[in-house]
Structure 1
Amino acid sequence: MTAGGDFLLGPAILFVPADRPDRFGKAAERADAVILDLEDAVALGDKAAARTAVRQSRLDPATTIVRVNPAGTEEFAADTAAVASTAYRTVMLAKAETTDQLDALARAVPGVRIIALCETAAGVVRSSALATHPSVVALMWGAEDLVASLGGTSSRRADGRYRDVARQARSSVLLAAGAAGVAAIDAVHLDIDALAPLAEEAEDASATGFMATACIHPGQVATIRDAYRPTTEAVAAADALLTAAAGRAGVFRYEGRMIDEPLLRHARALVARAASSPDPSS
């Protein structure tokens, strides 16, 4: 089974507050997909206006996600009613923890494609079950709500790197998504100006199988795209390896390395990713 399925939204997915419709079009132009956020980005008193803005928006449904408030809340019911009245059918469920919650979303929005956001301890622990729900097309993880759910105070060390529990959660969600054959989306990087650390994390995300990285500012989009785009040298090396493998059966030696099927799958994945993310300078 190949992780990711038909998920084609990445690699740079940009959050935009749903109560800021003046930003919708600009966000859609700059990123590969947008997330109209009805949850944390919108103050309680502004949520009704945000839902109205979502209803009135006319973005491309194929590249638009709506994040709704957690299942079981009053806001969830109002959010899903708003989404159901639109053409948008890719919905991110905040603080997803149980398949019953996913069922509730599927009932509220017919034909929904769910991105389950695993951002609490319960959500991360149950990520494997969430990933196998028939309406789920992707999992995403989140560090800040996760640490808050544990009673902690910080997801990162002083040097900016994730603490061990966040790294474990990230890996757990990626593995759950991969096992179920759905996409995995990496968490946002909150330090908007720290592009070098963002590039490092996004490159790691791409190399390990994440299909996209979420972001909170248009200035992060180019860094994420560059990190996910294989280099010309890497693509040439992968092509050469696949050419050398043509007609061979089993393990063989190539440029001093033992080559077997997993390494060929790496090469095929890299070539496929390059084809789906062309260099804008070319």
Structure 2
Amino acid sequence: MATDVRGPALLFCPGNRPERFDKALAAADSVILDLEDAVGPEAKNLAREHVVEALGRLDREAVLVRINAVGTPWHADDLAALAPFRDVAVMLPMASSPAAVESITHPVVALCETARGILQAPAIAASRNCVGIMWGSEDLVANLGGSRRRAADGGYRPEVVQARTQVLYAARANGVTPIDTVLVDIADLDTLAADSAAAAASGYAAKACIHPTQVAVVRTAFRPSDDEISWAKAVLAAAEAHTAVFTFEGRMVDAPVLAHARRVLRQVEPPTNTA
């Protein structure tokens, strides 16, 4: 079973547009083949067929499939179609309980986009097959009865920040990948850059995109600076001569510091997608 989600840029791709699958995978770190919001009821069956066909040839370590939510007419059919691909991670929308996650035999990225889902995020992230957890701002604000995501300064309103923080804590407490929400205003790359930088600085590992033009912005925001990369290489090199805590450039270096340095270097490894 997969244990990680390849990031930092995850790109949604409609399941009924198979001509876009390879391009999306080549453009991003992972592609989310979407059977839910991007596909109308009349196209669900055909989209499912396209996705199943593609899973036979795509790099499945870099592919997720967003299935339809529990309780919809398409949920069971989605899971039945994906049964031959147990290694493929599925994204479960409207995730609201660990039971819903554990009812699925695939690795699951839980998409929490309701008040109940956000409050249950710690339990959801602790589910035995949960490998990632993401929050969804659009549906969440609607579920809360609100009308705005943004404050006057352009940042998120307090209730939205709380959801973002809750999901981050839930992910890190349980060792699963925290994924930041999409920005639906495709043309607003400035806000995307600010959102992505804030997500990366707070500890998010990835961010979802809905258009290829957003990928480069997300990657840039999540990429460590040249100074951070140089420091990480140097401190790991210095650690080879020590078996316990040591001092480097005036700072104490222990296991958490070394773990952070390794994480920095993993973030700059070149993508391996060749589709």
Q: TM-score, normalised by structure 2?
A: 0.87
The answer to whether residue 27 in structure 2 is matched with residue 30 in structure 1 is yes
**Is 1:52 the equivalent of 2:46?**
no
Alignment-mate amino acid for residue 171 of structure 2 = A
Q: Tell me how far 1:149 sits from its aligned partner.
A: 1.1
Structure 1 CA distance for aligned equivalents of residues 255 and 103 of structure 2: 41
Structure 1: 4+ residue segments shifted above 3 A: 85-88, 238-255, 257-268
CA separation in 2, counterparts of 1:221 and 1:234? Answer: 22
* Candidates 138, 141, 145, aligned match of 1:144: 138
Q: Using a 3 Å threshold, how does the CA distance of structure 1 residues 253 and 64 change in structure 2: closer, same or farther? A: closer
CA positional deviation for 1:248: 8.2
State yes or no: 1:267 paired with 2:261: yes
State how 1:33-112 maps to structure 2 within 5 Å.
Answer: 33-57=30-54, 58-86=57-85, 89-106=88-105, 112=106
1:20 partner amino acid: R
Structure 2 CA distance for aligned equivalents of residues 89 and 121 of structure 1 = 28
- Between the two proteins, the alignment pairs up a number of residues equal to 267
Partner SS for 1:105? coil
Contact 1:113 1:136 in 2 (8 A): yes
Correspondence list, 1:16-27, <5 A: 16-27=13-24
Cα distance per residue 1:73-95 (max 9 Å; x no partner): 22111221222245762100001
Cα distance in 2, alignment partners of residues 152 and 65 from structure 1: 30
Contact persistence 2:5–2:131 (CA under 8 A): no
Q: Pick from 146, 157, 161: which aligns with 1:163?
A: 157
Report the Cα distance in structure 1 between the residues aligned to 2:247 and 2:236, rounded to whole angstroms. 12
What percent identity do the matched residue pairs reach?
45
Distance 1:21 1:253, change over 3 A: closer
Instruction: Give structure 2 stretches of 5+ with no counterpart.
Output: none
**Residue 221 of structure 2 is aligned to residue 224 of structure 1:** no
Deviations 1:225-273 (A, max 9, x none): 1222212222113334455665385575845x66666545433432332
The equivalent of 1:109 in structure 2 is none
Q: Contact 2:70–2:100 (CA<8 Å) still a contact in 1? A: yes
The alpha-carbon deviation at position 218 of structure 1 amounts to 0.4
Please tell me the residue identity of whatever aligns with 2:40. A
1:154 matched to 2:148? The reply is yes
- Write the distance in 2 (CA, Å) between the matches of 1:125 and 1:33: 27
SS at match of 1:160: coil
1:185, CA displacement in angstroms?
0.8
> Deviation at 1:12?
0.8
Query: 3-state SS of the aligned residue for 1:16?
Result: strand
1:135 aligns with 2:129: yes
Could you report, residue by residue, the CA deviation over 1:110-139 in whole angstroms, capped at 9, with x for unpaired residues? Answer: xx1110111111111011111111111111
Question: What is the aligned-residue RMSD (CA, Å)?
Answer: 2.4
One of 102, 113, 117 as aligned partner of 2:107: 113
Is the Cα–Cα contact under 8 Å of residues 9 and 219 in structure 2 kept in the other structure? yes
Q: Partner of 1:179 in structure 2?
A: 173
Letter paired with 1:205: A
**Partners of 1:69 and 1:76 within 8 A in 2:** yes
Looking at structure 1, the residues matched to 237 and 102 of structure 2 have their Cα atoms a distance apart, in angstroms, of 46
Could you tell me which amino acid in structure 2 is paired with residue 220 of structure 1? Q
Deviating more after overlay: 221-230 vs 259-268: 259-268
Alpha-carbon distance between aligned partners in 1 of 2:126 and 2:94, rounded to the nearest angstrom: 17
Do the aligned residues in 2 keep the contact of 1:68 with 1:76 (CA within 8 Å)? yes
1:9 aligned to which of 6, 10, 13? 6
Taking the aligned partners of 1:126 and 1:192, their CA distance within structure 2 comes to 30
